[in-house]
Homo-oligomer: A and B are copies of this chain.
Amino acid sequence: MGKVSMAVDFAGIKLKNPINTAAGTFGQGWQFMNFMDVSELGAITTKGCAAEPWPGNPKPRMTEVPGGMMNSVGLQNPGVRAFAEESGPYLADLTDKGTAVICQVAGHSVEEYVAALELFDELCPWAAAFEINVSCPNISAGGAAMGSTPEGAAEVMRACRPVTKKPLLVKMAPVRLPEIARALEAEGADGLTVINSIPGMAIDVHTRRSKISRPTGGLSGPLLHPIAVRMVWEVCQAVDIPVCGVGGVMTGEDAAEFILAGATSVAVGMASFVDPAASVRILHELEEWAESQGVSSINELIGAFEC
C-alpha cells in the first residue's frame, strides 16, 4: 500500500479503492479466484440477473472488432434464487473481506425489475448495493429499450426505489445521458454507472449476414474509451450523485481519465478477458498515478480535470 488514501465513498458505499468490475465481464467474482486476490478490489459488480432464469441469445454471441469486441449474450442468467444459492457464500465472504458486492438487476418490464429487486433484497443480505440495468442493448424488451428515454428510465427507477433501503445504482445506455441522468437523480438514484456497451454492427460481407446471431450487438473495449470519458464528464456536470466510469479501461491511466472527468469509481470490463488479473493491475497503476500527483487522497483527483 502506498501513501495515498484510495478510499472513496460511492453512493453511500464505503469502497477501499475506486476499482470496480463491469457487470457481465467478471462473472460472479469467483471465476477470478485463481488469477488474483479479488478482495483487493474496492467493489465487484455481478452479471445482470433477473427474477427468473433467462436463456440469453442464440450463438454466435461474440465477434471481435478492431479495438474491441461485440457481444450479444442477452443477459443469460440463472435467476436470482439460483444466483444467490450458487454464488452467495463466495460473495458474502468477499463482503467480509471488505470488497463491496454490487448485484446487477435485469428485467424485461417494470414489474420484472421490481420482482428481481425484491428477491435480491431478500436473498442477498451481503450485497452492498444494487445496480439496475436499463441499458442492455441485446434484449428486445427491457434494458436499453426502456432506458433510452428520460421517461422510460425514470419509470423503472420510480418503481424500484421503494423496494430496497440499499443504495440503488443505474447502469446507463450511451444515449441522451445528461437528461436521463437528471431524471434518474430526481427519482432517487444513488449513483450512475456510465456507460453500457454501445450498439454496433459487424457484417460478414461474404455471407451478407451479421457476425453474431442478432443484427446488432454491444461493443466493448478500448474503442469505447474516449467516448465513455466524454459521457462520464457530461453526466458528472449534469448531476450531483456519484458516477462509476466504464468503457475500455485497460490501464491505470485509462482509469485516471475517468477519475479526472469526475467519476468516483471505475469499472474494468473487457480487460479482464485479455488479462484475468487486469483489475488489480489497474488498481496498482491507478495508485501509482495518484502518488505521482502529490495528493494525499484520491478524492482530491475526482473531477480535477482542468478545462
Q: Which A residues are closer than 8 A to B by beta carbons?
A: 65-68, 70, 175-176, 198-203, 205-206, 208-210, 215-216, 219, 222-223, 225-227, 229-230, 233, 253, 256-257, 260-261, 289, 292, 304-307
For residue A200, which residues in chain B have a CB less than 8 angstroms away from its CB? 226-227, 229-230
Interchain CA distance A212-B200 in the complex, whole Å: 27
Interchain CA distance A304-B70 in the complex, whole Å: 22
Interchain CA distance A175-B231 in the complex, whole Å: 13
Whose C-beta in chain B lies nearest to the C-beta of A207? B306
Please tell me which one of the listed residues B201, B222, B226 contacts residue A261 in the complex, with CB atoms under 8 A apart: B201
Cβ-defined contact, A65 with B209, below 8 A: no
10 contacts between A and B (CB under 8 A): A70-B226, A175-B175, A200-B227, A201-B226, A203-B256, A205-B253, A208-B305, A208-B306, A215-B233, A216-B230
For residue A201, which residues in chain B have a CB less than 8 angstroms away from its CB? 226, 229-230, 233, 257, 261
Whose C-beta in chain B lies nearest to the C-beta of A304? B208
Interchain CA distance A305-B209 in the complex, whole Å: 6
Cβ-defined contact, A219 with B226, below 8 A: yes
Interchain CA distance A150-B219 in the complex, whole Å: 26
Cβ-defined contact, A205 with B256, below 8 A: yes
Interchain CA distance A175-B253 in the complex, whole Å: 28
Whose C-beta in chain B lies nearest to the C-beta of A227? B200
Please tell me which one of the listed residues B219, B256, B289 contacts residue A227 in the complex, with CB atoms under 8 A apart: B219
Expressed in whole angstroms, the minimum distance between the Cβ of A15 and any Cβ of chain B is 20
Please tell me which one of the listed residues B203, B227, B256 contacts residue A199 in the complex, with CB atoms under 8 A apart: B227
For residue A210, which residues in chain B have a CB less than 8 angstroms away from its CB? 305, 307
